[in-house]
Amino acid sequence: MNEEQLSRKAFFAKLKEKITDDRCVICVEVAYNIAKEAHRRQVRDDGERYFEHVRAAAWIVLTETNITDQLRITILVCSALLHDLMEDTFVARRKHLAFIFDQLSPDITTVAWELTKQKKKDKRKTWRKLLNSHRAPTKLVKAADRLHNLRTLSACSRKKIRKQIKETRTIILPWLRETTLVEPACDNKEIMSLADKIVIEIERLEAFLDSTRKRK
């Protein structure tokens, strides 16, 4: 099953293959519901519900990493579901995320906040906040986020595809590959695995751009 074919039932069936702790499952359910409601009126450039993207990012960290620790999986999945909440929505304010999730792990709030986009005029602040982070969960979720974006870019304009490729090559991949300060260090292998998949998607998109240019 790929990310686009997901349903709530399938998502939680896969989750429960890795997580048996009821507190962790409930935490993911809360994050899932918050994300679905927060993105309710948003659509992506291809017309798909925006929630499908954050659910797909969570699916990637759930199915394309080999992390087995239940708490770490919970942190990753919750953070992936919450990673694109806009700063001016109720649930994206850090104190509200902390109130909801910190009893299980404050890392959920921290990672989600490090990945939450600022308002458009503060894009440099968003990048600075992200690139200053050396948390493995932050890097893993961002890698999953970018991987899904690249996998679904073919329907977008050539200009947007080129922009995403350049941004990924010059900013995101060097940051992902800087592993000397990553905590916990045991996740470096998982980060590198997703980074390698990102490179594959970049090469696929470059081939796509080249082939469509030649047909014109």
Question: Is residue 94 very low, low, confident or very high in pLDDT (cuts 50, 70, 90)?
Answer: confident
Nearest residue to 39 (alpha-carbon basis) of 50, 52, 28: 50
Tally Cβ neighbours within 10 Å of residue 91: 16
Which stretch of 19-23, 40-44, 77-81, 142-146 has the lowest confidence by average pLDDT? 40-44
Contact between 61 and 77 under an 8 Å Cβ cutoff? The reply is yes
d(CA 214, CA 179): 39
Query: In 138-176, which positions are buried (b, 16+ CB within 10 angstroms) versus exposed (e)?
Result: bbbbbbbbbbbbbbbbeebeeeebeebbeebeeebbebb
Tokens representing 95 are: 């104190």
Q: What is the pLDDT of residue 118?
A: 65
**pLDDT value at 91 more than 60:** no
Contact between 150 and 164 under an 8 Å Cβ cutoff? The reply is yes
Where do the domains of the chain lie? 3-215
Distances (CA, A) of 124 to 58, 85, 117, 152: 25, 17, 10, 25
Q: What is the pLDDT of residue 47?
A: 74
Fold of 3-215: Hypothetical protein af1432 (1.10.3210)
d(CA 177, CA 173): 6
d(CA 118, CA 19): 32
Contact between 73 and 18 under an 8 Å Cβ cutoff? The reply is yes
Query: How do residues 43-60 score in pLDDT, each as one tens digit?
Result: 887 778 889 999 999 999
Q: Which amino acid is at 164?
A: Q
Question: Is residue 2 very low, low, confident or very high in pLDDT (cuts 50, 70, 90)?
Answer: low
Q: What is the pLDDT of residue 123?
A: 73
Distances (CA, A) of 186 to 15, 17, 28, 144: 22, 22, 23, 18
Average pLDDT of the chain? Answer: 88
Q: What is the pLDDT of residue 212?
A: 82
Please tell me the pTM assigned to this model: 0.90
